[in-house]
Amino acid sequence: MKKLNSHFRFNKQERSGIFFLLLLIIALQGVYFYVSSSSNGEPSKFLVDNMEQSWVDSLQHIQQQKPSFKLYPFNPNFITEYKGYTLGIAPEELDRLYAFRKQGKYVNSAKEFQRVTLVSDSLLDEISPYFKFPNWNKSAKSTFTKKRNESNSVEILDLNKATAQDLKKVKGIGDKLSARIIKFRDRLGGFLVEEQLHDVYGLEPEAVERTLKKFKVLTPPEIRKVNVNTATVEELSRLIYISQSLAQEIVQFRQVNGSFKSLDDLAKVETFPKERIDRIKLYLTL
């Protein structure tokens, strides 16, 4: 026992050494636990970041699946530029609708809307379920159909073959106007559409309506269209609707801005007669 006790007897210097050794061990243990806890915490940090990123990704996916706005039924005859933008309708497609409306006409079906605007089938399928046509549009359409059917019982003559005597049978058309209609028809090379009758100088709209009840364009002429992107001033000015000065403006506009992407871009020429663009386009190509 005495021998055992002798092993636990230390002098002052030995006790100091043992004390510092214990302190060193405790310090090393502290450093070990600090480093261990820091390294163990790092994956947790990345785990939280991954969870947050997954949550953000799911929100983005949901946002992409949701429409950017709620679409309500609307009358496609009165689409504003902003609404057209939200629907994905191109500006030139809207311009065609506006030009059609300026003539006092209305679209009465989804197919007619596509025919006027030339929107794609995919866009039409997306927005046409929301088209809402008022009752008066439908009744106007049925009235027009009824009148057209009634007119079928009346003998219709070819406007491009009508003589002066034929035309003078229409109330309001005498010697001068009948001669003027035939002269205008000869300059055109023949009427392509009935609406060109409105372009005869001095012919009142009422007289045009009475004429078109008896005459239609049954044999439109074959014409050689002029390429608006390559035509010279002289070639353009040969068209009855385009004067020499307007032809010069068209060519100058093309030289400054490049080739026309669409015939509707002609409306950007300063003095271009926008109200007649539909008729002028009949004689032009790109």
- 211-246 tens-digit pLDDT: 888 899 888 888 888 898 888 988 888 888 888 889
Distance CA 274, CA 280 (A): 9
Distances (CA, A) of 35 to 24, 93, 206, 220: 17, 68, 98, 93
Q: What does the block give as tokens for 273?
A: 């007669």
Does pLDDT of 139 surpass 60? no
Whether residue 148 has pLDDT greater than 80:
no
* Mean pLDDT lowest among 65-69, 110-114, 260-264: 65-69
Measured between alpha carbons, how far is 101 from 94 in angstroms, rounded to an integer?
A: 11
Report the interhelical angle of 110-117 vs 91-102 (nearest 10°): 110
The 10 Å Cβ neighbour count of residue 4 is 7
Pull the structure tokens for residue 207.
Answer: 């007289």
For residue 144, pLDDT beyond 60: no
Q: Is the pLDDT of residue 67 over 50?
A: no
Domains, the chain, with CATH or none: 76-151 (no CATH), 157-216 (1.10.150.320), 226-285 (1.10.150)
Please report where in the chains the tokens 């929301």 appear, as a residue: 130
Range with the largest mean pLDDT of 55-59, 119-123, 154-158: 119-123
Mean pLDDT of 87-114: 88
Per residue in 69-98, is it b (16+ CB within 10 Å) or e — as a string? eeeeeeebbebeeeebeebebeeebbbbbe
Q: 155-196 pLDDT, tens per residue? A: 788 899 889 898 988 888 888 998 999 999 898 888 888 888
Share of the chain above pLDDT 90, in %: 5
Residue whose C-alpha is closest to residue 92's, from 81, 108, 104, 101: 81
